[in-house]
């Protein structure tokens, strides 16, 4: 057992101490420069598309709309990473971790565009719906099915199983803190309500996420905004503390810069998922006229997740001079801070919020596993095995130790991200050509449309019409 622990934590330190951080920052900067700062140049276009009526329904009223695909990915993104993960980052890395979370999000917007655009280009038809993601573009664009299989296995284990244990773990902790709720009872409730959705297929997943996501995020941000307004005079000092801590400018900072950097990036990735290869599985489901449209929407999702929701949690904690201790872990740290701001009812409010956040993440995470199970094997037997395994992990997460669950999540997430980052680095040229085609049509005053001939030399394209034409 000691040997296994040594091996596990040795790999953990290597993964998060060097390799993944360099790849995330390096490739994020590469995509940003190669796209000529897409997150800045096209930010207005992202906002415009989010409100475009053509993005609200699937083609011919069928399938999944662009906005519904956004909600599926947001359901997974906006979860425990935004509340518990931010608290962990601040406790371990200080206020400076927030700065590096912002940096990785802004850089990650370019990465998110690349991976989600590729997922759209190489999506496949599944009846009236589409499915796709990194496993699909690894097989079709790179011609490396083995790589797709590896990724499909990792994301199924990571999101469908390990991450769902993390979500269940956070719900159980929150309800134990707020209501002294028994963890085993919570495990039973979660299993029932999760089974009701995941056995109903993609349509039921879409219906659940588009109902939960706007409500949960809206309520949480409004409460955080209220706290910020009530403490507006302290905001300049908070910003100063974040920047000073990020660069070790505080007198007591010492060697804390590395801790701030590592924890900020780690928890930022866990929260916004840019480059991880998860959101492209949702992006591929959308009916849109051009792949870049969903690339823009998913890029905006990274901004929404980290710059808005994660920052809300960060300000709640930093506005309360809370000293972390062994009694408070993750979500409990955020609960303590919010209680100081708005009173004892914060315990109940945040417990309900985290339930919605984490439960929606369980649903979104499940779908990522499902579409990759389909990639591995179209047989229904394996799909049902996977569904029951998800339910077992929900129980495990609800009753297991806190640190074990998060460490397992970090290792699987990091390994999966590396496989995806290698693939999108090799395929980024295709995403840039798709972006150029979209930009050209927009400059001509057209609503961009993509066909198999839009980018010369593409192969194994299944889901794009050869004769469609753009409209004014």
Rounded Cα distance between 455 and 159, Å, is 33
CA-to-CA dists, residue 254 to 93, 264, 277, 411, angstroms: 12, 17, 35, 28
Whose CA is closest to 220, among 109, 335, 66, 329? 335
Residue 452 lies in a domain: no
Distance in angstroms (rounded) separating the CA atoms of residues 43 and 341: 33
269: how many CB neighbours lie within 10 A of its CB? 27
The number of angstroms, rounded, from the C-alpha of 181 to the middle of its chain's C-alpha atoms is 28
Q: List, in order, residues 6 or more apart from 363 with CB less than 8 Å away.
A: 75, 194, 197, 198, 205, 208, 209
Residue 29 lies in a domain: yes
Does residue 327 or residue 190 have the better pLDDT? 190
- Say what the pLDDT of residue 158 is: 83
Is 424 within 8 Å of 115 (Cβ atoms)?
yes
> Six-digit token pair at 93?
């890395």
Encode burial over 122-133: b for 16+ CB neighbours within 10 A, e otherwise.
Answer: bbbebeebbbbb
| Tens digit of each residue's pLDDT (9 = 90 or more) over 356-379 | 778 888 888 888 888 888 888 767
Is 256 a residue whose pLDDT tops 70? no
Kindly state whether residue 353 falls inside one of the protein's structural domains: yes
Q: What is the CA radius of gyration of the chain?
A: 21
- Taking only the tens place, the pLDDT of each residue in 384-436 is 888 888 888 888 877 776 566 666 667 777 788 889 999 999 999 999 999 99
Q: How far apart are CA 68 and CA 287, in angstroms?
A: 10
Cβ neighbourhood burial of 231 (10 Å; 0-12, 13-18, 19+): middle
pLDDT of residue 194: 85
Q: pLDDT, tens digit, for every residue of 431-462?
A: 999 999 999 999 988 888 898 888 888 888 88
Q: Is residue 450 part of a domain?
A: no
Is residue 276 assigned to a domain?
yes
CB neighbours of residue 176 within 10 Å: 17
pLDDT tens sequence across 275-294: 888 888 888 888 888 999 99
Instruction: Pick 127 or 167 by higher pLDDT.
Output: 167
Please give the angle made by the CA atoms of 58, 135 and 458, to the nearest 5 degrees. Answer: 75
pLDDT digits (tens, 9 = 90+) for 79-120: 666 666 677 777 777 777 888 888 888 888 999 999 999 999
CATH number of the domain at 418, please.
1.20.1740
Whether 448 is in a domain gets the answer no
Domain that holds residue 132: 8-443
Q: Can you tell me the mean pLDDT for 162-179?
A: 79
Number of domains in the chain: 1
Q: How far apart are CA 420 and CA 281, in angstroms?
A: 12
Q: pLDDT tens digits, residue range 292-351? A: 999 998 898 888 877 877 777 788 788 776 554 445 555 666 667 777 666 667 667 777
Helical spans, DSSP H, in 78-144: 80, 86-93, 96-121, 134-140
pLDDT over 90 percentage in the chain: 17
Residue 462, domain member (yes or no):
no
The more confidently predicted of residues 10 and 236 is 236
In whole angstroms, give the CA distance from residue 235 to residue 207. 38
Kindly give the pairing relationship between strand 124-126 and strand 129-131: antiparallel
Reported confidence tier of residue 10, pLDDT bands at 50, 70, 90: low
* 3 located within any domain: no
């Amino acid at each position: 057992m000691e040997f296994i622990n040594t091996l596990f934590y040795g790999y953990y330190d290597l993964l998060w101490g060097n390799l993944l951080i360099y790849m995330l920052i390096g490739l994020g900067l590469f995509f940003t420069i190669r796209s000529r700062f897409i997150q800045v140049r096209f930010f207005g276009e992202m906002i415009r598309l989010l409100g475009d009526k053509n993005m609200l329904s699937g083609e011919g009223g069928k399938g999944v709309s662009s906005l519904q695909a956004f909600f599926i990915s947001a359901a997974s993104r906006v979860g425990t990473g935004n509340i518990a993960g931010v608290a962990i980052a601040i406790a371990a890395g200080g206020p400076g971790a927030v700065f590096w979370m912002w940096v990785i999000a802004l850089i990650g917007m370019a990465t998110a565009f690349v991976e989600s655009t590729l997922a759209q280009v190489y999506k496949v038809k599944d009846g009236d719906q589409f499915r796709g993601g990194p496993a699909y573009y690894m097989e079709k664009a790179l011609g490396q099915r083995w790589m797709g299989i590896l990724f499909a296995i990792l994301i199924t284990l990571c999101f469908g199983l390990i991450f769902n244990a993390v979500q269940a773990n956070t719900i159980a902790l929150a309800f134990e803190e707020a209501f002294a709720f028994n963890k085993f009872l919570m495990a039973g409730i979660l299993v029932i309500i999760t089974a009701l959705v995941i056995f109903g297929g993609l349509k039921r997943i879409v219906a659940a996420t588009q109902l939960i996501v706007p409500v949960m995020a809206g309520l949480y941000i409004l409460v955080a905004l209220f706290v910020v307004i009530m403490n507006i005079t302290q905001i300049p000092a908070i910003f100063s503390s974040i920047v000073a801590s990020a660069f070790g400018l505080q007198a007591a900072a010492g060697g804390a810069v590395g801790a701030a950097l590592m924890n900020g990036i780690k928890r930022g990735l866990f929260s916004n998922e840019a480059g991880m290869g998860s959101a492209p599985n949702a992006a591929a489901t959308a009916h849109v006229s051009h792949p870049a449209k969903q690339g823009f929407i998913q890029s905006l999702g990274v901004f929404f997740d980290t710059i808005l929701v994660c920052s809300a949690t960060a300000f709640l904690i930093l506005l309360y001079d809370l000293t972390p201790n062994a009694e408070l872990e993750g979500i409990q740290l955020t609960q303590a801070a919010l209680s100081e701001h708005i009173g004892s009812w914060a315990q109940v409010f945040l417990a309900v919020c985290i339930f919605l956040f984490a439960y929606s993440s369980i649903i979104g995470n499940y779908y990522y596993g499902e579409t990759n199970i389909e990639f591995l094997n179209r047989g229904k037997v394996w799909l049902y095995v996977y569904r029951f395994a998800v339910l077992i992990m929900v129980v495990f997460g609800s009753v297991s130790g806190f640190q074990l669950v998060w460490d397992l999540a970090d290792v699987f997430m990091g390994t999966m991200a590396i496989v995806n980052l290698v693939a999108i680095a090799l395929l980024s040229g295709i995403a840039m050509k798709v972006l150029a085609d979209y930009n050209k049509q927009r400059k001509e005053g057209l609503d961009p449309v993509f066909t198999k001939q839009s980018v010369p030399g593409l192969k194994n394209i299944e889901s794009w019409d050869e004769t469609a034409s753009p409209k004014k």
